[in-house]
Amino acid sequence: MSVPSTQKQWVITSGDKGFDGLQSQEAEVPKLGDHDVLVKLHAASLNYRDLAIAKGIYPFPLDLPKVAASDGAGEVVDVGPRVTLFKKGDKVVTLFNQGHQYGELRPDTVGTALGGMLEGTLRPYGAFHETGLVKAPANLNHVEASTLSCAALTSWNALYGLKQLKPGEWVVVQGTGGVSLFALQFAKAAGAKVIATTSSAKKAETLKKLGADHVINYREDPNWGETARKLTANGAGADHIIEVGGEHTMSQSLKAVKFGGVITLIGFLGGAKPKDNILEALNNICTLRGIFVGSREQMEDMCRAIEANDIHPVVDEKVFPFEQAREAYEYMWAQKHFGKLCISIV
């Protein structure tokens, strides 16, 4: 494959122009350092973070302008002279925090996220340090594999990063966003029981098809945390709660959790100022754990699990062409998506 010298790429130019700040710019295809891998990116997927960065509401440090998006999948087309982990033709996925190799995040690795601190994936060719990539699961196509960098790895870290999920344990997942659907799929593959919440009767049916043991409509049942607890074995509560709602869901999560359970604080879809007394965690003798995606070691474990269990990510029926990246942002902002929203890069 002959690699062009220049390419069109989508750049987040600033966080104060909304999606107008996402601009298509001509740039050079990056040159390879000794340990770099050149990837022909075939697909990218969007996360709420990408929209928040464009809208200027992302609460963590950024270094704009940067090529947008963190999640991407493609094929290795060239490698630097000292690369040992990959060869031409390998199918790969990007690691969200490029510096997070294993163990806990550290102050020096927290600032290595693609699409905000480092150049992202909305471009046909990208050069990444070899330790910033992971082999894609063989059962996935590029579009499916492009969904793994952020949402999937975050769910995996929630379920396996502190207290490993065991068969028969109970997991609560909130809503039908990317993170929650991955958590549902991983939990079912592990033999766990899943209680899912959603605001939509139609989505409830899909959640059941994906294996949810119980579905609660959080609009119809605002006290869904209590309901969820009653559904668990002996009404003892859930071992793991995937907390993505923030302000609107925390008090219910504290009602649903088991003694010794873990509430993983992941998102703030309903606002970022929980009104609850955090000391409720003491009453429930549970752990509240904030996480920021996961490490390369965890991503390799996750990819093995995806392949072994033939898990296929839930991808929205609409996959946007590269030229319509801005329309993809608008579509996701309007919450028209179900599961992961992907962009194909030819």
Cα dihedral angle (329, 339, 231, 273), rounded to 10 degrees? Answer: -20
Tell the residue number behind the tokens 């750049």, with chain if given: 11
Give Cβ neighbours of residue 106 (< 8 Å, ≥ 6 apart).
none
- Minimum gap (Å) between residue 334 Cβ and ligand NAP: 11
Among 37, 41, 122, 179, binds ligand NAP (CB under 6 A): 179
Q: What CA–CA distances, in Å, run from 293 to 44, 113, 171, 244, 262? A: 17, 10, 19, 13, 16
Among 249, 284, 295, 298, binds ligand NAP (CB under 6 A): 249
Cβ(320)–Cβ(342) below 8 Å: yes
Among 22, 37, 48, 160, binds ligand NAP (CB under 6 A): 48
Kindly identify the residues of this chain, within the stretch 196-215, that bind ligand NAP according to CB under 6 A.
197-200, 203
Regarding 237 and contact with ligand NAP (CB under 6 A), the answer is no
Among 292, 319, 333, 344, binds ligand NAP (CB under 6 A): 292
Closest CB to ligand NAP among residues 38, 254: 254
Please give the Cα distance from 149 to 139 (Å, whole number): 16
Give the residue from 270, 257, 198 showing the smallest Cα distance to 226.
Answer: 257
Phi and psi (nearest 5°) for 92?
Answer: -135, 165
Among 99, 115, 116, 177, binds ligand NAP (CB under 6 A): 177
Kindly identify the residues of this chain, within the stretch 68-107, that bind ligand NAP according to CB under 6 A.
none
Site for ligand NAP (CB under 6 A): how many residues?
32
- Minimum gap (Å) between residue 276 Cβ and ligand NAP: 14
Please give the Cα distance from 146 to 340 (Å, whole number): 9
Which chain residues interact with ligand NAP by CB under 6 A? Answer: 47-49, 150-151, 154, 174-180, 197-200, 203, 218, 244-245, 248-249, 266-270, 291-293, 335
